[in-house]
Amino acid sequence: MKWLRENLFSSWPAGVATVLIFLALWKIVPQFIEWAFLDAVWRPDPKACREADGACWGFIAEKHRFILFGTYPHEQHWRPAFATILLIGLWAFSLARAFWRWWLALVWLAGLVAIGVLMWGGLFGLSYVENERWGGLILTLLLTTFGIAFAFPLSILLALGRRSDMPVIRALCVGYIELIRGVPLISVLFMASVMLPLFLPPGLTMDKLLRAQIALILFAAAYLAEVVRGGLQAIPKTQYEMADALGLRYWQKMLHVVLPQALRIAVPPLVNIFIGFFKDTSLVLIIGLFDLLSTVKVSLTDPAWSGFGVEAYLFAALVYFAFCFAMSLYSRRLEASR
Amino acid sequence: MRRVAYQAAAIAVALLVAWFLVHNTAVNLEQRRIASGFSFLGRDAGFEISESPFLSYDSSGSYLRALTVGLVNTLRVAIIGVLVATVLGTAIGLFRLSKNFLLRTLAAAYVEFIRNSPLLVQLFFWYVLITNALPPPREALQPLSGVFLTNRGFYFPLPGSVPVLEGFNFTGGMVVTPEFAALLAGLSIYTAAFIAEIVRAGVLAVSRGQWNAALAIGLKRGQALRHVVMPQALRVIVPPMASQYLNLTKNSSLAVAIGYPDLVSIANTAMNQTGQAIEGVAIIMAVYLTISLSISAFMNWYNARILAR
């Protein structure tokens, strides 16, 4: 009773707001439950879907293989499935601070080699699958993983360069960071898809996936660099001075004194950038790669199943949400445990 | 001496990379017989643009004209989006701090769900919601007299011009296309979630003593918020808010995915037709850089004014 009074009816306007919200929920929630659950069709039967009043989850049931694995050969789907589980496992394993040791890099290396073997094949009796046929969830996860793996070291160099006392190096780094941060990701992706082929020496070509990956790396590095810079700025000046007093060279000072502390401070905002980056990989759809969102969109072009876009995109949103929300809970826990 | 050597090396590497790229590009362009330069801007575009509310345009207009229409469309959705997102975001940010449990929880759920799914998914969602769930013009919903909601757009009456059903669609009045509506809804709802967090953090950053002092002199909670807390919170709010406005403007480029004719989408069409990829990307980047730098310059000026107060 006390809780009710304090949290719902603390004053007249608050009471009115409570009643209004309650009435709105009273109307909306049952309708939504009817649509999403009670009247929904769960079997992959387009005819039943068209006749029903509710949602057509049968669409997801019918297309889940394509949505998750894209155009990967059907009888080989266990390979991307296994690779997806392995990759998620690697990420989950890396969350614990206790495992942040040098050997974690070896674990990742082994894991990524295993994923490469699974996806490409051509070894151990696995048939070869070219990467044009990769798609779905694993593509989204791989673009994120490799994007972060390469962008992160680059961003540290950029952040150090931006704080360097050498004007030329600082200007180059500032110019790069501000240029990338000033333009939309889609323009960087366009650059990779239409301009990069022109940049290469004649005769040399690069496949679409690699080009998109390079664009994502270049883009992410600029944003990560600003977060790393924030971490560097948070280190008290005395730390720099003490390292100098010990006679450490620039790189010794950075590697052994400054960066370990700065990166530790920067972890929660870094995770937030990772979340943003994970969401941003969905833009590769616009340059024609088959990531998770693309496979959902392509599934809708099947004439037998057209018109179930609301269900399809809700499902896509839920999949992305599951990953992003897990990461943001993790970031919050890290912040609280400091 | 070492410093000079390092910097000279950096310049040398940068120049070398630049030369390598320019040289390759020149060779490639020559091989493909693409003439570089911006002379294509004067040629006839030859494609239709689905909406151009302020400038007149038809397919015999030049590429320059088409790109200008695209820029105006980008600015139109960005400006309205910034306004809507600010109002919605501020409201939700304050709701998150409300004493009312329902309001607080709903606002938190909104922020979590919207922030943790990609904007592109949300744009597609709003777009299919409008085009699939609303009825065709013949069975238009009419929430108010003269206002028609259909899967081909929303029609509003203007003084002297009322939407009338003619054949398969409405004519007259003011029309909001499904593309514009979906883009505006997506951008404002998405950005509002981020703005809400900024507003919440800003209000929380004002010390408890300020609240207590304001309440002690007899101000109501709302008055205390308006006259005492908000002016101080603004100092914390303005810088991250500026970057959200920038993000919204840059994110409006996702219009290309749902077919709203913004700058990127028209430049993309122009690139596909003329093969002038470098010029197209350069135009897009230059325009967004200009917008970005102007917004940050304005925000710096505004921020300096607030700090000086």
- Interval A236-275: pLDDT, tens: 888 888 888 888 888 888 888 888 888 888 888 888 889 9
Q: What is the distance of C-alpha B169 from the center of its chain?
A: 29
**Contact across the interface for A190 and B284, Cβ inside 8 Å:** yes
The pLDDT, as a whole number, for residue B150 is 85
| Confidence grade of residue B74 (pLDDT, cut at 50, 70, 90) | very high
The pLDDT, as a whole number, for residue A189 is 92
A328 Cβ under 8 Å from any chain B Cβ: yes
State the maximum Cα–Cα separation within chain B, in Å, rounded to a whole number.
80
A322 contact partners, CB below 8 Å, separation of at least 6 = none
The torsion of the CA quartet A38, A39, A44, A47, rounded to 10 degrees, works out to 160
**Contact across the interface for B289 and A183, Cβ inside 8 Å:** yes
The mean-pLDDT minimum among A2-11, A279-288, B249-258 falls in A2-11
- Classified by CATH at the fold level, domain B63-308 comes out as MetI-like fold (1.10.3720)
Write down the mean pLDDT value for chain B: 86
> What number is the average pLDDT over the span A109-133?
80
The pLDDT, as a whole number, for residue A338 is 59
The pLDDT, as a whole number, for residue B254 is 93
How far apart CA A157 and CA A155 sit, in angstroms, is: 5
Q: Which letter does DSSP use for residue A312 in this model?
A: H
- Residue extents of the structural domains in chain B: 2-33, 63-308
Q: What is the value of pTM for the model shown?
A: 0.89
| ipTM entry | 0.89
B228, two tokens: 């005492």
Interface of B with A in 55-114 (CB under 8 A): 98-103, 106, 112-113
With 80 as the cut, is the pLDDT of residue A58 above it?
no
- In chain A, residues with a C-beta closer than 8 Å to the C-beta of B119 are 279
Q: What is the distance of C-alpha A213 from the center of its chain?
A: 13
With 70 as the cut, is the pLDDT of residue B309 above it?
no
pLDDT in tens, B181-234: 999 999 999 999 999 999 999 888 888 888 889 889 888 888 888 888 888 888
How far apart CA B258 and CA A204 sit, in angstroms, is: 34
Count of C-beta atoms within a 10 Å radius of residue A278: 22
A290 Cβ under 8 Å from any chain B Cβ: no
Interface with chain A: mutation pick from B124, B125, B126, B223, highest number of A CBs within 10 Å:
B124
The pLDDT, as a whole number, for residue B108 is 93
CATH code for A129-337? 1.10.3720.10
